[in-house]
Amino acid sequence: MTDTKGLDADTTAPRDTLPERILEVENLGVEFWVEGEFYPAAIDMNYVVRRGEVLAIVGESGSGKSTSSMALLGLLPENSRVTGSIKLLGRELRGVDDATLRSLRGNEIAVIFQEPMTALNPVYTVGFQIMEALRSHDRSMSPSGAKERAVELLRMVEMPNPEQSFHKYPHQLSGGQRQRAMIAQSISCDPLLLIADEPTTALDVTVQAEVLDLLRSLHKRLDSAIILITHDMGVVADLADRIMVMKNGVVVESGTVHEIFHNPQHPYTQQLLASVPHLGLGVLEEIDPDAPAEVETSTTTVPAIAAIRERATEAADEVPETRTPILSFKDVAIEYPKRGRIPAFRAAEDINLDIYPGEIMGLVGESGSGKTTLGRAAIGLLPIAEGRLSVVGTDISKPASKDLFAIRRKTGIVFQDPASSLNPRMPIGQSIGEPILLSGEAKGKDLDKRVESLLSQVELPTSYRNRFPHELSGGQRQRVGIARALALAPQLLVADEPTSALDVSVQARFLDLLQDLQQQLQFACLFISHDLAVVDILAHRIAVMHHGKLVEMGTRDEILRGATDPYTQRLIAAVPVPDPEEQRRRREARALLLERTGAGAES
pLDDT tens digits, residue range 188-203? 888 889 999 888 766 6
The CATH number given to whatever domain includes residue 132 is 3.40.50.300
Q: For the chain, how many structural domains are there in total? A: 3
pLDDT number for residue 319: 52
Contact indicator for 366, 549 with CB cutoff of 8 Å = no
Contact indicator for 91, 7 with CB cutoff of 8 Å = yes
pLDDT number for residue 287: 31
User: At which of 487, 508, 531 does a domain end?
Assistant: 487
The Cα-based distances of 321 to 516, 527, 531 in angstroms read 20, 20, 28
Closest residue by Cα to residue 209 from 534, 545, 589, 596 = 589
User: At which of 273, 290, 312 does a domain end?
Assistant: 273
The Cα-based distances of 108 to 12, 183, 191, 192, 518 in angstroms read 9, 15, 5, 5, 49
Q: How confident is the model at residue 309 (pLDDT cuts 50, 70, 90)?
A: low
Domain assignment of residue 551, yes or no: yes
- Within this chain, do residues 70 and 145 fall inside the same structural domain, yes or no? yes
Q: How confident is the model at residue 317 (pLDDT cuts 50, 70, 90)?
A: low
**Does residue 234 sit in helix, strand or coil?**
helix
Range with top average pLDDT, 118-127, 414-423, 454-463: 118-127
pLDDT number for residue 416: 73
Radius of gyration of the chain, Cα coordinates, nearest whole angstrom: 24
- Within this chain, do residues 57 and 173 fall inside the same structural domain, yes or no? yes
Q: Taking 50 as the threshold, does the pLDDT of residue 281 lie above it?
A: no
Q: How confident is the model at residue 313 (pLDDT cuts 50, 70, 90)?
A: low
**Cβ atoms < 10 Å from Cβ of 315:** 17
- Within this chain, do residues 30 and 152 fall inside the same structural domain, yes or no? yes
Q: Among residues of the chain, what percentage have pLDDT more than 70?
A: 85
Q: At what angle do helices 580-597 and 566-573 cross, to 10 degrees?
A: 150
How far apart CA 420 and CA 49 sit, in angstroms, is 33
pLDDT number for residue 118: 79
- Within this chain, do residues 211 and 336 fall inside the same structural domain, yes or no? no
Domain assignment of residue 583, yes or no: no
Range with top average pLDDT, 15-19, 32-36, 372-376: 372-376
How far apart CA 386 and CA 334 sit, in angstroms, is 7
Q: Taking 70 as the threshold, does the pLDDT of residue 308 lie above it?
A: no
pLDDT number for residue 310: 65
- Within this chain, do residues 472 and 495 fall inside the same structural domain, yes or no? no
**Amino acid (1-letter code) at residue 8:** D
Side-chain half-sphere exposure of 394, counting CA atoms within 13 A: 21
pLDDT number for residue 299: 41
- Within this chain, do residues 174 and 323 fall inside the same structural domain, yes or no? no
Domain assignment of residue 582, yes or no: no
* Residues β-bridged to residue 412: 493
How far apart CA 66 and CA 58 sit, in angstroms, is 10
Domain assignment of residue 289, yes or no: no
How far apart CA 385 and CA 372 sit, in angstroms, is 16
Residue 430 φ/ψ, nearest 5 degrees: -70, -40
The Cα-based distances of 585 to 259, 260, 560, 599 in angstroms read 19, 19, 18, 19
Q: Structure pTM?
A: 0.70
Would you give the DSSP letter of residue 144?
H
pLDDT number for residue 295: 40
* Residues β-bridged to residue 364: 544
- Within this chain, do residues 512 and 477 fall inside the same structural domain, yes or no? no
Domain assignment of residue 556, yes or no: yes
Rounded to 10 degrees, the C-alpha dihedral 525/529/533/535 comes to 20
Q: Taking 80 as the threshold, does the pLDDT of residue 312 lie above it?
A: no
How far apart CA 62 and CA 76 sit, in angstroms, is 15
User: What residue numbers bound the domain in which 435 lies?
Assistant: 423-487
Domain assignment of residue 52, yes or no: yes
Helix H or strand E segment including 413: strand 411-414
433 contact partners, CB below 8 Å, separation of at least 6: 447, 448, 450, 451, 487
Domain assignment of residue 250, yes or no: yes
13 contact partners, CB below 8 Å, separation of at least 6: none
How far apart CA 327 and CA 332 sit, in angstroms, is 12
CA 436 to chain centre: 28
Size of the chain in residues: 603
Query: What are the percentages of helix, strand and coil residues in the chain, rounded to 5?
Result: 40, 25, 35
How far apart CA 345 and CA 227 sit, in angstroms, is 39
Domain assignment of residue 521, yes or no: yes
**Amino acid (1-letter code) at residue 266:** H
Q: Taking 50 as the threshold, does the pLDDT of residue 603 lie above it?
A: no
The Cα-based distances of 596 to 207, 210, 271, 510, 591 in angstroms read 18, 17, 39, 39, 9
pLDDT number for residue 3: 41
Residue 14 φ/ψ, nearest 5 degrees: -55, 140
- Within this chain, do residues 333 and 470 fall inside the same structural domain, yes or no? no
Would you give the DSSP letter of residue 298?
S
pLDDT number for residue 504: 73
Side-chain half-sphere exposure of 435, counting CA atoms within 13 A: 23
Mean pLDDT of 480-493: 89
pLDDT number for residue 303: 58
- Within this chain, do residues 13 and 108 fall inside the same structural domain, yes or no? yes
pLDDT number for residue 378: 93
* DSSP output for 365-394: E-TTSSHHHHHHHHTTSS--SEEEEEETTE
**Cβ atoms < 10 Å from Cβ of 78:** 5
Closest residue by Cα to residue 555 from 535, 526, 533, 577 = 535
pLDDT number for residue 331: 97
| Beta pairing, strands 345-355 & 327-336 | antiparallel
How far apart CA 331 and CA 351 sit, in angstroms, is 5
Rounded to 10 degrees, the C-alpha dihedral 387/560/392/349 comes to -10
pLDDT number for residue 142: 94
Sign of CA dihedral 496, 418, 156, 230: negative
User: At which of 472, 487, 502 does a domain end?
Assistant: 487
- Within this chain, do residues 402 and 431 fall inside the same structural domain, yes or no? no
Closest residue by Cα to residue 353 from 542, 547, 559 = 542
pLDDT number for residue 32: 93
- Within this chain, do residues 452 and 362 fall inside the same structural domain, yes or no? no
Would you give the DSSP letter of residue 434?
H
Helix H or strand E segment including 45: strand 37-50
Mean pLDDT of 490-501: 85
Contact indicator for 176, 202 with CB cutoff of 8 Å = yes
Mean pLDDT of the chain, nearest integer: 83
Predicted confidence (pLDDT) per residue in 132-166, tens digit? 999 988 889 999 999 999 999 999 887 889 999 99
pLDDT number for residue 539: 92
Mean pLDDT of 561-577: 86
Contact indicator for 383, 361 with CB cutoff of 8 Å = no
**Cβ atoms < 10 Å from Cβ of 547:** 15
- Within this chain, do residues 519 and 467 fall inside the same structural domain, yes or no? no
Predicted confidence (pLDDT) per residue in 10-32, tens digit? 444 555 677 789 999 999 999 99
pLDDT number for residue 283: 35
